[in-house]
Amino acid sequence: MSYRISLNLVENGLNFISKSIETIDKPDEDLKYSLINLHAGIQLLLKEMLYQEHWSLIFQNVETADKNKLKSGDFISVNQDTLIKRLQKISGIEFDEQLLEKMDWLRKERNKTEHYHFVVTADVLKSNIVKLFTYFIPFIKTEMIETGYISSDDERFYEIQDYLNEFDEYVSERLELIQSLLSNKEIILQCPICNQETIEFTDETDAFCYFCDKKIENFTEQYIDSFVDTYSHVMDGGEDPLNECPECELETFLCLDEYQYVCLTCGVKPTQDDLTTCNGPRCNGKLIYRRDEDVADFCGYCTDYFKHA
Ligand SMILES: [Zn+2]
Ligand SMILES: [Zn+2]
Ligand SMILES: [Zn+2]
């Protein structure tokens, strides 16, 4: 007779998640555990799916898989990246792109709690958790409830959804309040901390988030890190989303929506109508300010080249 080892992954996973959002209003140090528990809980649920595929897959290194180690828990279990890849490639599970993004946010925040002073507030955490679960709840429904990993009348799952609804209402109410403050601002950027579109951006030293209700330090770096995909253009030969700024000449000039541009360093906010590309021989089509119609538009490099040619 073959026996099954029960790891209680689903059981523990749901308990971790439920405990995590239940304690979110506790102050400081506890908040950090809320984040750690949430991350752990989601990982456990996903590991269950992999475990059902084959138990050895929850070992980071499958060659070292060993039933005795599995029983004793004495092994390095699969990390988030590998876990998701195996679910996609081996189990054929589909992940929404947004869900992957939010899970990546959670992983990064969780790692920060180990290395840095913990600064996230309950509001910021709630805002992000609401966003994460907007995608994770449907995922649990299709991949875990309909497939029978979680019982459809599991009380904790309903409890978790109840908490989330409270957060959700709270977050929407705050956003509504903030909206009136933001309505007359030229450009609103997304906040790398709370993920809401609530940043009034003046320049790199002055980016104020109305949801976080504070100035965001190192905004330029954090924004590019979180939202600007400079990596895939290198991999797929696509266009770099960041251009050289016609004002300060730093490579932080970002096109927001085909029409509106903003420099994440000096804060200039020209539109497509204000810009044109240089036709000169040296720069490979730099973005420059459009001038009078009669004057040819060349950048500084190319103008210099003509002078010395
Ligand atoms: Zn914020
Ligand atoms: Zn600039
Ligand atoms: Zn040029």
Ligand 2 center to 222 CA (angstroms): 17
Q: What value does the mean pLDDT take over residues 68-85?
A: 93
Residue with tokens 């251009």: 243
Identify the pLDDT of residue 1: 35
Quick: pLDDT tens for 264-286.
999 999 999 999 999 888 888 88
Specify if 232 maps to a domain.
yes
**Highest-confidence range of 105-119, 159-173, 289-303, by mean pLDDT?**
159-173
User: Looking at the structure, do residues 157 and 258 belong to the same domain, yes or no?
Assistant: no
Ligand 3 center to 277 CA (angstroms): 8
DSSP E strand stretches across 15-142: none
Distance CA 266, CA 250 (A): 9
Ligand 1 center to 59 CA (angstroms): 37
Ligand 1 center to 122 CA (angstroms): 12
Ligand 1 center to 95 CA (angstroms): 26
Ligand 1 center to 128 CA (angstroms): 10
Q: Starting from the edge strand earliest in sequence, which strands make up the sheet with 242-243, in order?
A: 242-243, 253-255, 261-263
* Cα 193–chain centre separation: 9
User: Looking at the structure, do residues 251 and 301 belong to the same domain, yes or no?
Assistant: yes
Ligand 3 center to 287 CA (angstroms): 8
> Residue 263 in contact with residue 248, Cβ under 8 Å?
yes
Identify the pLDDT of residue 241: 85
Residue 261: nearest ligand to its CA? 2
Average pLDDT, the chain: 88
Identify the pLDDT of residue 2: 41
Ligand 3 center to 276 CA (angstroms): 11
Specify if 50 maps to a domain.
yes
Three-class DSSP category at 202:
strand
Q: Domain residues for 259? A: 227-308
Distance CA 72, CA 116 (A): 32
Specify if 192 maps to a domain.
yes
Identify the pLDDT of residue 294: 64
Q: Is the pLDDT of residue 84 over 80?
A: yes
Ligand 2 center to 205 CA (angstroms): 13
CB atoms within 10 A of CB 22: 14
Q: Is the pLDDT of residue 4 over 60?
A: no
Specify if 3 maps to a domain.
no
Confidence of residue 236 (pLDDT cuts 50, 70, 90): low
User: Looking at the structure, do residues 119 and 158 belong to the same domain, yes or no?
Assistant: yes
Ligand 2 center to 198 CA (angstroms): 21
Among the ranges given (106-120, 168-182, 196-210), the one the predictor scored with the smallest mean pLDDT: 106-120
**C-alpha separations of 192 from 121, 141, 211 in Å:** 14, 29, 11
Residue count of the chain = 309
Q: What value does the mean pLDDT take over residues 110-118?
A: 76
Residue 269: nearest ligand to its CA? 2
Final residue in a domain of this structure, among 170, 197, 224: 224
User: Looking at the structure, do residues 154 and 295 belong to the same domain, yes or no?
Assistant: no
78-86, long-range: CB within 8 Å, 24+ apart, which pairs? Answer: 78/47, 78/50, 80/43, 80/107, 83/43, 83/46, 83/47, 83/50, 84/46, 86/50, 86/53, 86/57
Q: What value does the mean pLDDT take over residues 62-85?
A: 93
Identify the pLDDT of residue 47: 95
**Highest-confidence range of 4-8, 30-34, 287-291, by mean pLDDT?**
287-291
Distance CA 240, CA 41 (A): 37
Residue with tokens 């590991």: 47
User: Looking at the structure, do residues 171 and 251 belong to the same domain, yes or no?
Assistant: no
Residue 226: nearest ligand to its CA? 1
Domain total for the chain?
A: 3
Query: Of residues 41 and 169, which shows the higher confidence score?
Result: 41
Largest CA distance in the chain: 88
Ligand 1 center to 81 CA (angstroms): 27
User: Looking at the structure, do residues 45 and 167 belong to the same domain, yes or no?
Assistant: yes
Ligand 1 center to 172 CA (angstroms): 14
Quick: pLDDT tens for 200-209.
999 999 999 9
User: Looking at the structure, do residues 31 and 20 belong to the same domain, yes or no?
Assistant: yes
Q: Which of 96, 125, 93 is nearest to 27 (CA)?
A: 125
Specify if 41 maps to a domain.
yes
Question: What percentage of residues in the chain have a pLDDT greater than 90?
Answer: 48
Specify if 114 maps to a domain.
yes
User: Looking at the structure, do residues 31 and 113 belong to the same domain, yes or no?
Assistant: yes
User: Looking at the structure, do residues 199 and 286 belong to the same domain, yes or no?
Assistant: no
Identify the pLDDT of residue 167: 87
Identify the pLDDT of residue 163: 87
Which token pair is 150?
């979680």
Specify if 201 maps to a domain.
yes
| HSE value, Cβ hemisphere, 13 Å, CA-based, for 132 | 23
Q: What value does the mean pLDDT take over residues 85-91?
A: 96
Residue 119: nearest ligand to its CA? 1
Identify the pLDDT of residue 28: 65
Distance CA 237, CA 229 (A): 12
Specify if 254 maps to a domain.
yes
